[in-house]
């Protein structure tokens, strides 16, 4: 249901990924703000839910390791304890200012009003980068995957993973004890994944094929084999597999944010150290934010910190008498 202009929230968070959920907890729970979350998908969690719910995450403080879906569940419980309004299945398509600098957010279904907005939209609108190889594309959904929602689907199977980033390496490590065999194909000797993961990969039973690329795929009603080639020597091999998991990155579309008038830099929304964008009352945190006066790290823990900064600055923006620093949570009665 659309809000009326008189039904104004203190802050509205665009995106219910880990950064957005933590921002909602911090705004509603720590700063007592009337808070709304708008998420385009029909579930919370963002990329953790869509791309790798069954993948372990190792770099969140307090968890030696935790499945992405379990982290999402804990963040959801934390955020919803303070009863923010959660709107699922609505995509924000426009942002404009009304009387009194109130921000109007127009979605594909409704209209919402807020004093401030915190954009926690991950990488924005994104879709998996594909090979654009017809011989491979024809097996999509029949042995070719661009995302994994259930790792146990690959129990006892021969799995080939293509890519050299964190997702490819992490999936190879996650599936090595589940699949019958895991082969990782990468087109260059260097990997873009975390150093620790790469070291573990080279000490694991995963078969590493470098520098190889996918040339073709064969099968009948489903994928049966993949043809790869060495991009240095031209040598070709046909390997029988049950599944081909392509982890080639994602295509990011930030055109919507440009349309709103936000400054974009390095495929992200330009912010300062206070997470302020060039639009008054609009902030960004997490992967979508590009801090111009610090190092950009696309990590969940960085998103948490940026969310806390954005919320505290937003609180001071709507109530200049309130302190940006709220004190420690241990000093508050929650």
Q: What is the pLDDT of residue 55?
A: 84
Give the 3-state secondary structure of residue 287. Answer: helix
Contact of 123 with 47, CB cutoff 8 Å: yes
Taking 50 as the pLDDT cut, the residues of the chain under it are none
CA–CA gap between residue 290 and residue 270 (Å, rounded): 5
Show the tokens assigned to 242.
């049950």
Query: Could you give the C-alpha distances from 246 to 66, 92, 155, 185, in angstroms and in order?
Result: 23, 30, 18, 10
Coil, helix or strand for 96? strand
Threshold 0.75, pTM exceeds: yes
**What is the set of domains in the chain, with CATH numbers?**
8-126+250-331 (3.50.50.60), 130-246 (3.50.50.60)
DSSP letter at 212 equals E
Helix axes 195-202, 166-175, angle to 10 degrees: 40
Write down the pLDDT at residue 126. Answer: 62
Question: Would you list the DSSP string of 120-150?
Answer: --TTSEEEE-----HHHHTTBTTTEES--S-
Q: Check residue 251 and give its pLDDT.
A: 75
Per-residue pLDDT of 252-290, as tens digits, reads: 778 899 999 999 998 899 999 999 999 999 999 999 999
pLDDT value of residue 92: 94
CA dihedral sign of residues 208, 210, 212, 213? positive
Q: Report strand pairing: 103-107 vs 92-97.
A: antiparallel
In this prediction, residue 254 carries a pLDDT of 87
Q: How many residues does the chain have?
A: 334
β-strand pairing of 207-209 with 144-145:
unpaired
């Amino acid at each position: 249901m659309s809000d009326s202009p008189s039904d104004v929230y203190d802050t509205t968070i665009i995106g219910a990924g880990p950064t957005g959920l933590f921002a909602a907890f911090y705004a509603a729970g720590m700063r007592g703000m009337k808070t709304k979350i708008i998420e385009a998908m029909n579930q919370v969690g963002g990329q953790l839910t869509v791309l790798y719910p069954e993948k372990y995450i190792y770099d969140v403080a307090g968890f030696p390791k935790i499945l992405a879906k379990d982290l999402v569940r804990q963040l959801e419980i934390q955020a919803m304890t303070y009863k923010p309004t959660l709107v699922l299945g609505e995509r924000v398509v426009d942002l404009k200012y009304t009387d009194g600098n109130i921000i109007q957010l127009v979605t594909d279904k409704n209209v919402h009003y807020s004093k401030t907005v915190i954009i926690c939209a991950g990488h924005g609108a994104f879709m998996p980068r594909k090979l654009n190889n017809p011989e491979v594309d024809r097996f999509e959904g029949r042995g070719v995957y661009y995302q994994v929602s259930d790792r146990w689907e690959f129990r006892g199977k021969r799995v080939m993973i293509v890519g050299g980033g964190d997702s490819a390496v992490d999936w190879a490590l996650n599936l090595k004890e589940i699949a019958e065999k895991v082969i990782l194909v990468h087109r260059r000797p260097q990997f873009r994944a975390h150093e620790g993961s790469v070291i573990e990969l080279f000490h694991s039973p995963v078969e590493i094929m470098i520098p190889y690329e996918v040339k073709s795929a064969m099968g009948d009603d489903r994928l049966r084999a993949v043809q790869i080639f060495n991009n240095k020597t031209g040598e070709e091999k046909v390997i029988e597999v049950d599944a081909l998991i392509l982890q080639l990155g994602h295509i990011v579309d930030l055109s919507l944010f440009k349309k709103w008038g936000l400054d974009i830099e390095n495929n992200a929304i330009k912010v300062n150290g206070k997470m302020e964008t060039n639009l008054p009352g609009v902030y960004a945190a997490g992967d979508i934010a590009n801090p111009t006066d610090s190092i950009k790290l696309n990590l969940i823990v960085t998103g948490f910190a940026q969310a806390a900064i954005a919320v505290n600055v937003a609180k001071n923006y709507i109530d200049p008498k309130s302190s940006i620093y709220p004190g420690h949570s241990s000093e508050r009665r929650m």
